[in-house]
Amino acid sequence: MAAPGPATASAAAADPGTAYKLLLSCPTGLPRSRVSVKFDKIFDRIPHPDAALEESISEIWNQRIEQNPTLYNGTKFRYGGSALHYKDDLDQEYCASLHLGLTDYRTFVGTNLNPLWEKFLVPSEVYLSGVLKPKCESLHRIIRMICLDQNSSTIRMVCLDENSSSFNLIGVDDSVHCQHMSNPLGNGAIVETSYEKIIVLQRSYNVGEFPGYFVFPGGHSEPQEIGIIGHQAHEDDLAHLNKRVSQEMFEGIIREVVEETGVPAGSLTDPVFIGVSHREMNVRPTAFFFTKCDIDSSGVNELYSRAQDGYESTKLYAVSVDELQGMSQRMPGCHNGGFALYELMRKACKSL
């Protein structure tokens, strides 16, 4: 299906839901072997010290249940930050590490979707003066360099761990800024068809968030898919657990693409990880991946009519990059960020 006409610039400027921030960019695209996960309860949400604000989580959830008794409080992976590790070897390849805890849908509704969501955020002057300095001083060796990421407005610190041969680029602000938020990590896929068209879905007008907006296929990786229902008191093999969670990041996005578009998994290349963005309104984070599909646009549209997940979207478009640029003005911020990550990947490929 051809792309609809672009929204006007004035309409986009008036829509705060389209604004985004890039939390992590990996423009070369990282395969599974270069993406790891640190899964730990230290990355779970920290309750807010304001008891009344915490109580509002239950109040809002109970209101939602009354309106829709079918709501299910499922467990989700919580985004707690990330790091890039530069290995000191000849090829200078870097790897990404995602820091994940656990959260649930109830807490997401009560924090990220709370009308008072901004009150859950830690003010910047608090986490910069009260949190950053002690963390810096606790490091044995540090390259004292704080810089502003030009693509994300994220303050980052470059440091050298004396106990290893790797450099770490550590995002120090967002995990603290959002420590009281649920922040379940969503996923999204930039899918190129055989003629280099990009698959975009239009959300149903029946969904609660961003009805009628354009999005990339995606959803969430699910802890239950790998048997995780909570943190274990005694985990015998943490390395194996982290590997399972890391694999679910990649398997989860393939599953979402198949369910939402109807294309078979065998038609997709193995995804590469290109980064994490969040929308500025309610700071919801999403991990983005890139994959190619060996089916042309007309074939994808035919398969979409038989897709398993027909509730959340009503139309599928296969569009050019120029068409996607216009549609992005009518995308939720986190997906707008996904498009920005894809653009960075395209620029990196052209420069090779």
Local confidence band at 135 (pLDDT 50, 70, 90 cut-offs): very low
Task: Give the closest residue to 293 by CA, choosing from 198, 188, 187, 201.
Answer: 198
Model pLDDT for residues 63-106, shown as the tens digit of each residue: 999 998 988 999 999 999 999 987 665 557 889 999 999 999 99
Local confidence band at 169 (pLDDT 50, 70, 90 cut-offs): very low
| Token duo for residue 141 | 């060796």
- For residue 32, the one-letter residue type is R
| Token duo for residue 82 | 């990330």
pLDDT above 90: percentage of residues in the chain: 65
Average of pLDDT values for 302-315? 82
Q: Give me the pLDDT at residue 15, please.
A: 85
Average pLDDT, the chain: 83
Task: Concatenate the DSSP letters of all residues of 121-156 into one string.
Answer: SPPHHHHIIIIIHHHHHT-SS----EEE-TTT--EE
Q: Domains in the chain and their CATH numbers?
A: 9-121+178-351 (3.90.79.10)
| Token duo for residue 35 | 């993406």
User: In this structure, is the dihedral angle defined by the CA atoms of residues 111, 257, 304 and 315, taken in order, positive or negative?
Assistant: positive
Model pLDDT for residues 1-29, shown as the tens digit of each residue: 656 644 433 344 568 899 999 999 999 99
> Rounded to whole angstroms, how far apart are CA atoms 199 and 49?
43
139 pLDDT exceeds 80?
Answer: no
pLDDT above 70: percentage of residues in the chain: 78
CB count within 10 Å of CB 207 equals 14
Average of pLDDT values for 154-177? 49
| 139-142: long-range contacts, CB 8 A cutoff, minimum separation 24 | none
Local confidence band at 173 (pLDDT 50, 70, 90 cut-offs): low
The H-assigned helical ranges of 236-332 are 238-261, 297-304, 321-327
Model pLDDT for residues 256-265, shown as the tens digit of each residue: 999 999 999 9
Q: Give me the pLDDT at residue 323, please.
A: 95
156 pLDDT exceeds 60?
Answer: no
227: alpha, beta or left, given left = phi > 0 and alpha = psi -120 to 50? left
